[in-house]
Amino acid sequence: MQTYDLESEGLRGLNSTLQKQSGETNQTNWQVINPKGSHAIAVGLDAPIEVTVKGSTGYYCAGMNQQATIKVEGSVGPGVAENMMSGQVIIDGDASQYAGATGHGGLLVIKGNASSRCGISMKGIDIVVHGDIGHMSAFMAQAGNLVVCGDAGDALGDSLYEARLFVRGSVKSLGADCIEKELRPEHYEILKDLLDRAGSDAKPEEFKRYGSARQLYNFDVDKSAAY
Amino acid sequence: MCGIVGLFLKDQSLAPQLGNMLTDMLITMTDRGPDSAGIAIYGEDSIGKTKITVQSPNADSDFVGLAEELGKGLGVAVTQTDNDTHTVLDIPAGQFEAARSILAEIRPSVRIMSRGENLEIYKEVGLPKDVADRFNLSGMTGTHGIGHTRMATESAVTTMGAHPFNTGSDQCLVHNGSLSNHNSLRRKLRREGVTIQTENDTEVGAAYLTWKMMNGATLGEALQSSLDDLDGFFTFVVGTKDGFGVVRDPIACKPAVMAETDQYVAFGSEYRALVNLPGIEDARVWEPEPATVYFWSHNDSPTSQEKAA
């Protein structure tokens, strides 16, 4: 286990050290102490290493992650795991706005709540939130799965493309072109797998599925108010 | 951008350290607003008195004999406590409007920062650290306070454009965001008799709340109606004699983090601003909801009232 003290050794050193790790490294376990809400912790990693952040972080933690597993023992600020490609990011506490935005792959687990715009423009990432999510989540989401064990806020899935949204609790309102859809056997499989990997004991049959009505894909003057 | 910090003490044994804690929070928010900084601090009750905090770009000449001349004009005893470019004038309660017109005559270049029984506002252009140093903010004591670091968008980088803004007795407001209907609202509020000194959007937000409260609204009601009447982006933190309130617009792009322990309620634009507060590791930390009014008051003991409106 390698320990990095962010307060005394600085952010640039942390990210350049972690970014230098390759698939062959034997330094596979890292912990970051004294994060104290700093921004851009553990970004741009591209090796199958495990990084544990011992405390809460600021903006853009674990951005652009590939392969690495990053755990935060605290809460995270805006834009956690933004544009993740692969790997896993696990947050013990809450996440601020636009968690997992534009992510292409990998798994983001938030054990507390996520606030507004969770999964905005997601492009293939899987996101599991154990608590609630805020308004405008999955806005223009294109691919991937967003699983919410609690409730969803206003305008869920507005202008949605092909991402799948699963919500166990209530949905305050659906956004334009987002509708409830049938939960078919293949969806139970996806849900079960994601809930298992995210350490949630919620049952797939307790969820509802939401997706795109596919009415806004092409411009239609009769629907101009909905764009 | 802009950075906001706020600290409301539940445990008054921390009062001697209020300035110190707020200053540390303020300086941490320098990245969000390096062009100006300000702090509103609620100190001891000055019963039967009004404190007017004034600023002058020519403090050396303007503040000489100021209390004496103002006292002569008002026909009462006035004291002054100088602090760099600011001085606090203590006048008998109920004389503020008279004092304002006398000041305009005897010292035209003096600008009024705040008035109230408890409130003092100190603000200047410059890095938050330099602003804090020149006023010795870290040595100040009080029951609650609000600070702001500014990155100007809607009006020039001037002392008068810095936050907090005070538009009514013991009221102050700081803002992260930008209001888009401030020009029309400013015209309307001026017609209604509210004094607005600058072309800044935030001052209009502050004046709007003052106007609502002049017409009988509670602070909670005034904040609630701001959600309908103000256009644009805002996270507001508002100070009053008894406490402070927080409201964010329904879109809630502008960040906000709050922390509460048995000793205090704290606000920061980022969690970074809160990390040196005592007991933060075990505090309840959360993000205030959009379009929801929060308020804490020293009058609602033992636990304050959340989501007052």
As for the ipTM of the complex, it is 0.92
Name the stretches of chain B with pLDDT < 70: 300-309
The residue assigned the tokens 């809630």 is B252
Residues of chain B with C-beta less than 8 angstroms from the C-beta of A58: 270-272
Q: What is the mean pLDDT of chain A?
A: 96
Structure confidence at residue A66 as a pLDDT band (50, 70, 90): very high
Q: How far does A57 lie from chain B, in Å, by closest CA?
A: 8
Cβ-based interface (< 8 Å): residues of B facing A? 250-253, 255, 257, 270-275, 285-287, 289-290
Tokens 């990210």 belong to residue: A15
C-alpha separations of B107 from A6, A175, B122, B160, B196 in Å: 52, 58, 19, 17, 19
pLDDT of the residue at B37: 98
pLDDT at residue A223 tops 80: no
Do the beta carbons of residue B272 and residue A58 sit within 8 Å? Answer: yes
> How far B197 CA lies from chain A's nearest CA (Å)?
35
User: Please, are residues A166 and A144 in contact by the beta-carbon 8 Å criterion?
Assistant: no
CA angle B209, B236, B99 (to 5 degrees): 45
**Is the per-residue pLDDT at A99 higher than 50?**
yes
* N residues, chain B: 309
Question: Per the residue annotation, which of B2, B29, B131, B179 is the catalytic one?
Answer: B2
The DSSP symbol for B80 reads E
Is residue A20 included in any domain, yes or no? no
Residue B178, classed as helix, strand or coil, is: strand
Q: What is the pLDDT of residue B300?
A: 57
Structural domain contains residue A202: yes
Calculate the CA dihedral of residues B5, B7, B8, B12 and round it to 10 degrees. Answer: -170
- Please state the rounded mean pLDDT for residues A89-98: 98
Please give the radius of gyration of chain B, using alpha carbons only, rounded to the nearest integer.
18
- Tell me if B206 sits within 8 A of B184, measured CB to CB: no
Angle at CA of residue B123, ends B122 and B125, nearest 5°: 155
Q: How far is CA B58 from CA B36, B63, B80, B100, B152, in A?
A: 19, 8, 16, 18, 24
A contacts of B255 (beta carbons < 8 Å): 77-78, 96-97
Nearest to A57 by CA among A21, A81, A28: A81
Cβ A36–B285 below 8 Å, yes or no?
no
As given in the structure block, the two tokens for residue B284 are 């309840």
Q: Where in chain B is the domain with CATH 3.30.70.100?
A: 46-117
Please name the member of A57, A75, A115 whose beta carbon is closest to the beta carbon of B285: A75
pLDDT at A126 over 80: yes
Residue A67, φ and ψ in degrees, nearest 5: 70, -40
d(Cα A225, Cα A74) in Å, to the nearest integer? 42
Closest alpha carbon to A65 in A26, A107, A96: A107
Quote the pLDDT of residue B158: 95
Least Cα separation, residue A37 to chain B (angstroms): 4
Which residues of chain A have a CB within 8 Å of the CB of B273? 37
Domain total for chain A? 1
The answer to whether residue A68 is domain-embedded is no
Give the per-residue pLDDT at B306.
Answer: 40
Q: Residues of A with CB below 8 A from B285's CB?
A: 56, 75, 93-94
Domain that holds residue A136: 97-216
Q: What are phi and psi of B125, to 5 degrees?
A: -75, 145
Instruction: For residue A139, tell me if it sits in a domain.
Output: yes
Q: What is the pLDDT of residue B263?
A: 97
Contacts of B25 in chain A (CB under 8 A): none
Contact (CB<8Å) A37/B285: no
**Active-site residue flag, B2:** yes
Which chain B residues are closer than 8 Å to A96 by Cβ? Answer: 255, 257, 287
Per CATH, domain B46-117 is 3.30.70.100 = yes
Any domain includes A49: no
Contact indicator for A156, A129 with CB cutoff of 8 Å = no
What is the structure's pLDDT at B307? 39
Question: What per-residue confidence (pLDDT) applies to B309?
Answer: 34
Chain A residue with CA closest to B286: the answer is A94
pLDDT, position A143: 98
Amino acid B265: pLDDT: 97
Task: Please tell me the predicted confidence (pLDDT) of residue B299.
Answer: 78
Candidates B250, B271, B273; nearest CB to A56: B271
Q: Say which DSSP state A73 is in.
A: S
- Residue A78 at interface with chain B, using a CB cutoff of 8 Å: yes
- Partner residue facing B290 (CB), from A36, A57, A116: A116
The superfamily in CATH containing domain B3-45+123-297 is: Aminohydrolase, N-terminal nucleophile (Ntn) domain (3.60.20.10)
Residue of A nearest to B252 (CA): A116
For residue B305, what is the DSSP state? P
A145-176 pLDDT, tens digit per residue, is: 999 999 999 999 999 999 999 999 999 999 99
pLDDT at B301: 42
Using CA atoms, how far residue B212 sits from A53, B173, B226, in Å, is 46, 14, 9
User: What are φ and ψ of residue B134, in 5° steps?
Assistant: -65, -30
Give the A:B interface size as CB pairs under 8 Å.
45
